[in-house]
Structure 1
Amino acid sequence: MDLMRIEPQTITHLQEWLGKSELLTDTVTAAPVRALSATLDRDDPSPISGSFLPELWHWLYFLPHARESEIGPDGHPKRGGFLPPVPLPRRMWAGSRIQWLAPLSVGDDIQRVSTIKSVIHKAGRTGDLIFVLVEHQISNQHGLAILEEHDIVYRDASGPDDKPVAPTAAPEDAVWSKTITPDDVLLFRYSALTFNGHRIHYDRKYVTEVEGYPGLIVHGPFIATLLVDLVRQSIPGCKLKSFEFRAIRPTFDINIFKVSAKPDLEKDPSGKTIAIWAQDHEGWLTMQATAVIA
């Protein structure tokens, strides 16, 4: 039976955030580019002014800089501010849809205008879910470069009687694949690069004893970055026009996982639409994505 824990007046209050915007500015510096290349174990040339910023690496910029006194018990900034103060303990990056209109380069001065586009409440099997859709428009000195829609889902903590969602088997016809062996250091380095204090990614005692997971959780955007990196490795020199992904199941650091891809010839005989996915050590689908290359 569906559970309802959030009062209607709370939903109404959260929807007051609709249309709220914020403007952030940054500069595409070289140091995070070098650091992510090392984290991905890539042998890239050292970035210099004018070097192309690979797709999704804009996530290295516009980082949240909450003061230490503003951090909540889970390591995230306390609720409120730009994002609505959803009274549910678990917050996850559920997916994104991104279009590249023009390239970004090292040395660019960039700005991001973010807008809350929707706040939707749903009653699920295990209680309330709140879906927040944020639109990001990223520009450099030449104009608009990236359009991104970011899906955030908030949910209650799992209860002892909750049953896991039935898994979906990953495709078995990959053309390109890579096995990833996650560990504490890999996850810590990505958390540090993105200034992400969320304890589920580095605090094993917290994630197992408080949140009830079996291990550290691999960041959703890091998996998405690995998916795009697989395409970059498999089709050298390609540039992406668009990318979308949806997180399906959490990935933990206690087992290997695999990223895979293939041209989706049924959808696009030209071979420019790439189906990409991640799967866990048991072959269950954990992330599903599509890229379109130029």
Structure 2
Amino acid sequence: MSGPTGQRGLRVVPTWRHGRERLYVCAADGRNIAWYDPDAARVNLLGDDRRDDVLHALGPFLTGPVAVGPPPVPTPAELARLSLHPDDDLAPNRPGEALLVALERDPGPQRRLRPDPRRRALEAEQTVGTALDRMDGAGWHALHSVPLPGGDRVHHLLIGPGGLFAVHALYARRQRVTVTDPLVTLGRRDAGPVLRRVRAAAARASYALTAEVHPVLVLAGPAALRATAAPRGVRVLTDVEVPGLSRLGGVLKPGDVDGLHAMARDRRTWARV
């Protein structure tokens, strides 16, 4: 989430890259003018004219001495990131971001016997999103709550050496789950065409990114899972099986992963789908 805008018109925006935190310093018009790498204890300046302002804005985040200077030559993906307005950058989204915002605006009634279904959905997205975020250091990137026109969204988009995956999280705590394509039955509830939604989200992501995106349904905490037949083109996993996706490879090169991630994190990419 974005930090406060200081007296000198600069805003600090935390992000994560390859499992490491970076703090970008943005001007009032949204341009990035510097970034701070806490692990390297280095402040990278894109120009020296606002050096003092940048250090003043970063002051609350600095924990010791830092090196200050021009950045190394940026990669194409880094250049794309630097040109992206913070309001259009989806990378800072937390797992379940859309639900978190909705619950902050309208917490709803506090019911013990019939809890708000949004909170269960949030728990599922946070569980799955945390598992996906742990894959970051292995060359994978995860984006959360990717907005689609019409109020829909991709719960999680995973990009890495094994390709692209649109991941849909479904709360199934202590329930027996039966999958009969395209229906999914949770416990004694009526079956719903969940797999159609999962495929539709992946198809829209494929269109936006002009690349194949594979649909994945992840069940959070089921007591048991049974599929009457293998669903067509959809991986169905439990949350404990999510780390297995990191073993997939041989599809995308590191440069392709970074390029697709730079494209996917731009909110404007999704406006036409």
TM (norm. structure 1) is 0.24
The structure that has the greater radius of gyration is: 2
Q: 1 or 2, which has the higher strand percentage?
A: 1
Q: 1 or 2, which has the higher helix percentage?
A: 2
Higher relative contact order (CA 8 A, sep 6+): 1
